[in-house]
Amino acid sequence: MVVSGFSEKTAIEDYIVNELEKKGWRFVPADKLERESYDEPLLVGNLIRALEKHNADTGIGDEEIKHVLNELKLKGTGQEGH
């Protein structure tokens, strides 16, 4: 018997989201995230704002932010990060 709309992936995802929300995390659906495409794993706008906020006293500039973004984008996706 197949239940319409049910999948193991959805059940696991729903469980994990629920558990994280219990711990104070906020879930944002993928279509509401600030990104140009689903292929972009980084939320660049959020990341830039966070870098500026947490480094306000250091005078971080556009060049430093570009460097950080490039470093993150060029990192490998394996378990060891390379």
Print the domain residue range for 36: 8-74
| Residue 2 maps to a domain | no
| Residue 42 maps to a domain | yes
| Residue 39 maps to a domain | yes
Question: What distance in Å separates the CA atoms of residue 81 and residue 78, rounded to the nearest whole number?
Answer: 5
| Residue 1 maps to a domain | no
How many domains does one find in the chain? 1
| Residue 50 maps to a domain | yes
| Residue 63 maps to a domain | yes
| Residue 43 maps to a domain | yes
Report CA-CA distances (Å) from 47 to 4, 7, 72. Answer: 38, 32, 11
Per-residue confidence band for 18, with pLDDT thresholds at 50, 70 and 90? very high
| Residue 23 maps to a domain | yes
According to the model, what pLDDT value does residue 1 have? 46
Give pLDDT tens digits for 27-77: 998 888 888 888 888 899 999 999 999 998 998 899 999 999 999 988 877
